Amino acid sequence: MRVLLIGSGGREHAIAAALAQDVSVDTLVCAPGNPGMAELGECVPVNMNDPTAVAGLAVTSAADLVIVGPEAPLVAGVADAVRAKGIPVYGPGREAARIEGSKAFAKEIMAAAGVPTAAARSCRDQKEIEAALDEFGAPYVVKDDGLAAGKGVIVTEDRDAALAHALGCERVVIEEYLDGPEVSLFVVSDGETARPMLPAQDFKRVGDGGTGPNTGGMGAYTPLPWAPDDLVSEIMTRVAEPTLAELAGRGTPFIGTLYCGLALTSKGLKVVEFNARFGDPEIQPILALLESSLGELLYAAANGKLAGFGPLWWREGAAVCVVVANEGYPEETITGRPVYGADQEGVLHAGTALDATGQLIATGGRVLNCIGTGASVAQARQEAYMLAEGVKIEGCHFRGDIAAGL
Ligand code: AMP
Ligand code: GLY
């Protein structure tokens, strides 16, 4: 089949790498893609947040399947526009993507579906904000109600900082703090039937030991050697299935990845957030272990045929991703510096471009993803760090404790 893949980050490079090895895929077009993806398929420029432009490209490239990687195009209605052309698309329509685009909508769905999550208040003014801060107490969790690439949330002991962040948001949600380790589970859905991938964990803060500001994610690993055996089945029955049924019941079936971000708290599992696409960087190590055909899986989901697909197959062992970020990320990212070491086997491009001379330069906050695999998390981690050490970008940084001590 011919696949059109929308996006340009590390997640899309990982998807492209899986599709490039997949016998069910004979042509891969990436739009806009990145220099790493250009080695796996044709890259075509497009404004990926423009539904008409993407739908037009799906038609002219004669795509049998369109895969939308990032959230912004989904929330903009790109999947709806492609579907309206009669082309199967993996990714939810605008309405279903609100599960990620609006935290208040996600809370409403969870309440209706009986899904456990942190208690929360949507606040409109300073009086409501202060009342909610005092109701839940420290640590304070303050979320911008909109897409913020994982950076619109602050968790702080400092009430003044919490209040200042809340006052800077157009609409704000204040939540109960959830203790306990976090888990990401990506559930592939055709609107009715769902299949879980391997559970993963990501590292959201910029600094070692979980210090510093939140980022889009500084690293990840899978599977979770410490997780209870029934973790995935519990998340499916208590979280994913009721949420997907609620969305289907509202006439907006969710076709794509329901990303369940959970905390395993002292009071049981609770949803921290939902997203409407594969998590970045968790999907990078997950796909490194996928044995089933990704192309056939996503094609079946896009066509309402997951029931016939069966469970996914995974390689034994573990995979780890270490993100190499630009100087200043996530605050004031310095871009444009030359990148060396991206050609190592296992390195994915997340924020790179070629300059006019053909030199690879760092353009994003997160520049490269270093993926190691091995028989254990410890072995995979060693390989990922060897790759990260081999990357040279002036001023770059990566966490030293991704998947440590497992
Ligand atoms: P979100 O954008 O909702 O995923 O939040 C980003 C990150 O903030 C999460 O991955 C958590 O690490 C943290 N966070 C969000 N909500 C809570 C909460 N209620 N309690 C504790 N930490 C949270
Ligand atoms: N890894 C976090 C995210 O993709 O939002």
What is the Å distance from ligand 2's center to 231 Cα?
Answer: 20
Q: What is the dihedral of CA 288, 291, 295, 300, to 10 degrees?
A: -130
Q: Residue 64: which CATH number?
A: 3.40.50.20
Q: Does 134 share its domain with 224?
A: no
Q: How far is CA 320 from each of CA 150, 218, 317, 350, 384, rounded to the nearest angstrom? A: 20, 11, 11, 16, 6
* 170 and 231 within one domain: no
Residue 83 falls inside a structural domain: yes
Q: Among 175, 192, 217, identify where a domain stops.
A: 175
Domain-embedded: residue 111:
no
- 290-315 pLDDT, tens digit each: 999 999 999 999 999 999 998 999 99
Q: Give percent of the chain above pLDDT 90.
A: 93
Q: Is there an atom of ligand 2 within 6 Å of 275 CB?
A: yes
- Check whether residue 131 and residue 12 sit in a common domain: no
pLDDT tens string 257-278: 999 999 999 999 999 999 999 9
Q: How far is CA 404 from CA 141, 300, 341, 367, 377, in A?
A: 26, 37, 23, 22, 9
Task: Please give the distance, rounded to the nearest whole angstrom, from the Cα atom of residue 153 to the centre of ligand 1.
Answer: 7
Mean pLDDT for the stretch of residues 59-87: 97
Please count the structural domains in the chain.
4
Whether 163 and 187 share a structural domain = no
What does the pLDDT read at residue 291? 98
- Do 145 and 37 share a structural domain? no
Residue 147 has pLDDT above 90, yes or no: no
Q: In the predicted model, what is the mean pLDDT of residues 127-143?
A: 96
Quick one: 340 and 361 in the same domain? yes
Report the distance separating Cα 41 and Cα 155, nearest Å. 41
Is the pLDDT at 151 greater than 70? The verdict is: no
pLDDT value for 148 = 58
The reported pLDDT for the residue numbered 358 is 96
AA letter at 115: V
Substitution candidate for ligand 1 out of 99, 110, 153, 274 with most atoms within 8 A of CB: 153
d(CA 75, CA 72): 5
Task: Collect all residues with Cβ–Cβ distance below 8 Å to 346 and sequence separation of at least 6.
Answer: 370, 371, 372, 373, 383, 384, 387
Interval 18-26 mean pLDDT: 98
- pLDDT of amino acid 214: 87
Shared domain for 12 and 47, answered yes or no, is yes
For residue 395, being part of any structural domain is answered with no
Q: Would you state the pLDDT for residue 72?
A: 95
Domain that holds residue 167: 120-175
Same domain, 203 and 304: yes
Query: Which band of pLDDT confidence, cut at 50, 70 and 90, is reported for residue 43?
Result: very high
In a domain, 402, yes or no: no
Mean pLDDT of the chain: 96
Q: 360-400 pLDDT, tens per residue?
A: 999 999 999 999 999 999 999 999 999 999 999 999 999 99
Mean pLDDT of 158-175: 93
What is the CATH number for 141?
3.30.1490.20
- Shared domain for 74 and 48, answered yes or no, is yes
Q: Which two tokens stand for residue 129?
A: 């904000």
Q: Are residues 157 and 77 in the same domain?
A: no
Say yes or no: 230 and 263 in one domain: yes
> Is residue 281 located within the same domain as residue 210?
yes
Domain of residue 365, CATH code: 3.90.600.10
* Closest ligand (CA of 153): 1
